[in-house]
């Protein structure tokens, strides 16, 4: 039978080995072999060693060491350090903080209804201490996506606010309604969406590709790229523009993790059956951008059951409410609004 001291030493060896195999700590065998004392001393030594190693590793995760680049920016009168994880260069950090999505996020943070102005959910004053840039994705010469972690503290309670952000900026979605022989149809696009691992039927949509915030122009261009239909920007009605001013008149599909804001437009026109037939099943999209899109035309009455796309569901809600309250402005392509 092994002595108590030997058992505790083996316990330490096994414990450290298990933790090491999980990737949390690493210990040299010589450090373990030197623990050959009484049972209480052995246990205390093992606990101290494991605690020390775990704290060291946790420290490395929370505050990455090594070749770390950083810059300082001014936010609401305070200097905030912007740090990159190992592998993110000073050039990457500079691109990230100058990008449209990042600057838009900062504007919201310090705006009249922002967290740094009004405080957190309890109304307590908050402070932005540090920003950790984790990755950036370039779309040609411009920054498309920025992934970062914001260290924000509620000054009253000392609690940290959840601060992981996937910044991608603004986008548009267009509810296209085509009336043919007294029947109303909606136009959907089907394409593979890797993040959800499947193809999705959704509204024609696209990201803003500049800092000018040209939502209307982007919407008109996306309709033509994804459906082949050329429309005039003046024919579009901003459905999200009907929302209360306090909302920012945008839709946020996933505010718990992303800053993405979507402007939803409505387009209406009367068409012949030949147009419906030519659109149905048409393959479109910018192939050189990896867009493989198929167009579908579905009866509007069944649209709410045809797609899990949040843009579709939100657009239906806005359109139906605006229709019921007679809030829709006149449209050149829909002269008889009472029937459309």
How confident is the model over 233-264, as pLDDT tens digits? 888 999 999 999 999 999 999 999 999 999 99
What does the alpha-carbon distance between residue 255 and residue 248 come to, in Å, rounded to a whole number? 13
Residue 303: count other Cβ atoms within 10 Å of its Cβ. Answer: 23
Q: Residues 50, 16: contact at Cβ < 8 Å?
A: yes
How many CA atoms are closer than 13 Å to the CA of 57, on its beta-carbon side?
Answer: 14
Average pLDDT of span 90-104: 95
Q: Residues 297, 186: contact at Cβ < 8 Å?
A: yes
Of 171-175, 231-235, 269-273, the one with minimum mean pLDDT is: 231-235
The alpha carbon torsion through 50, 55, 60, 66 (nearest 10 deg) reads: -80
**Radius of gyration of the chain from its Cα atoms, rounded to whole angstroms:** 28
Rounded to 5°, the CA angle 165-255-125 comes to 75
What does the alpha-carbon distance between residue 209 and residue 144 come to, in Å, rounded to a whole number? 8
Beta pairing partners, 136: 146
pLDDT computed for residue 17 by the predictor: 39
Instruction: Inform me whether the pLDDT recorded for 47 exceeds 50.
Output: no
What does the alpha-carbon distance between residue 152 and residue 261 come to, in Å, rounded to a whole number? 22
What does the alpha-carbon distance between residue 168 and residue 315 come to, in Å, rounded to a whole number? 21
> What are the boundaries of each domain within the chain?
4-62, 70-167, 170-339
The residue with greater pLDDT, 76 or 215, is 76
The residue with greater pLDDT, 70 or 259, is 259
pLDDT computed for residue 281 by the predictor: 87
What does the alpha-carbon distance between residue 108 and residue 149 come to, in Å, rounded to a whole number? 16
Closest CA to 291 of 187, 197, 192: 192
What does the alpha-carbon distance between residue 183 and residue 180 come to, in Å, rounded to a whole number? 5
Tokens in use for 333? 């392509």
Tokens in use for 160? 């940290």
Instruction: Inform me whether the pLDDT recorded for 21 exceeds 50.
Output: no
Average pLDDT of span 182-211: 90
Closest CA to 174 of 218, 228, 234, 214: 218
What does the alpha-carbon distance between residue 339 and residue 184 come to, in Å, rounded to a whole number? 10
Alpha-helix residue ranges (DSSP H) falling in the chain? 4-21, 29-33, 39-62, 90-98, 100-110, 115-118, 215-227, 273-279, 303-306, 310-324
Q: Determine phi and psi for 50, rounding to 5 degrees.
A: -65, -45
Closest CA to 241 of 209, 258, 219, 256: 219
pLDDT computed for residue 332 by the predictor: 53
The residue with greater pLDDT, 174 or 51, is 174
Closest CA to 183 of 72, 295, 301, 24: 301
Average pLDDT of span 43-72: 49
Strands 78-84 and 126-139: parallel
This prediction has a pTM of: 0.74
pLDDT computed for residue 288 by the predictor: 54
The residue with greater pLDDT, 200 or 48, is 200
The alpha carbon torsion through 324, 329, 335, 337 (nearest 10 deg) reads: 0
Average pLDDT of span 274-295: 77
Average pLDDT of span 271-295: 79
Residue 98: count other Cβ atoms within 10 Å of its Cβ. Answer: 11
Q: Would you report the helix, strand and coil content of the chain in percent, each value rounded to 5?
A: 40, 30, 30
The residue with greater pLDDT, 83 or 289, is 83
pLDDT computed for residue 46 by the predictor: 44
Instruction: Inform me whether the pLDDT recorded for 156 exceeds 90.
Output: no
Ranges 40-49, 71-80, 254-263, most confident: 254-263
Contact partners, residue 243, CB within 8 Å, separation at least 6: 249, 250, 318
pLDDT computed for residue 70 by the predictor: 86
Give the fold, CATH level 3, of 170-339: Nucleoside Triphosphate Pyrophosphohydrolase (3.90.79)
Q: Residues 231, 224: contact at Cβ < 8 Å?
A: yes
Q: What is the mean pLDDT of the chain?
A: 79
């Amino acid at each position: 039978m092994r002595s108590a001291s030997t058992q505790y030493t083996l316990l330490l060896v096994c414990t450290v080995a298990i933790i090491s195999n999980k990737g949390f700590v690493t210990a040299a065998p010589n450090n373990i072999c030197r623990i050959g004392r009484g049972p209480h001393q052995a246990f205390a030594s093992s606990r101290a060693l494991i605690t020390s190693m775990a704290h060291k590793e946790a420290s490395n995760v929370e505050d990455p060491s090594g070749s770390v680049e950083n810059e300082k920016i001014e936010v609401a009168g305070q200097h905030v350090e912007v740090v990159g994880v190992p592998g993110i260069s000073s050039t990457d950090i500079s691109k990230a903080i100058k990008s449209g999505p990042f600057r838009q996020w900062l504007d919201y943070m310090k705006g009249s209804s922002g967290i740094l102005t009004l405080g957190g959910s309890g109304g307590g004053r908050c402070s932005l201490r540090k920003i950790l840039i984790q990755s950036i994705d370039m779309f040609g010469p411009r920054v498309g996506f920025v992934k970062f972690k914001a260290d924000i503290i509620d000054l009253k309670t000392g609690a940290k606010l959840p601060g992981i952000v996937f910044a991608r900026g603004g986008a548009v979605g267009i509810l296209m309604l085509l009336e043919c022989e007294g029947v109303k149809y909606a136009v959907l696009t089907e394409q593979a969406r890797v993040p959800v691992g499947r193809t999705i039927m959704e509204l024609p949509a696209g990201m803003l590709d500049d800092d000018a915030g040209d939502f209307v122009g982007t919407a008109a261009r996306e309709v033509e790229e994804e459906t082949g239909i050329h429309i005039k920007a003046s024919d579009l009605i901003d459905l999200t523009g009907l929302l209360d001013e306090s909302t920012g008149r945008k839709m946020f599909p996933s505010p718990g993790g992303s800053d993405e804001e979507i402007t939803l437009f409505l387009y209406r026109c009367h068409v012949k059956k030949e147009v419906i037939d030519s659109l149905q099943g048409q393959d479109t999209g910018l192939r050189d951008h990896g867009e493989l899109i198929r167009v579908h035309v579905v009866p509007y009455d069944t649209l709410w059951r045809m797609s899990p796309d949040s843009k579709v569901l939100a657009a239906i809600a806005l359109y139906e409410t605006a229709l019921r309250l007679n809030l829709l402005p006149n449209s050149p392509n829909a002269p008889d609004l009472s029937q459309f």
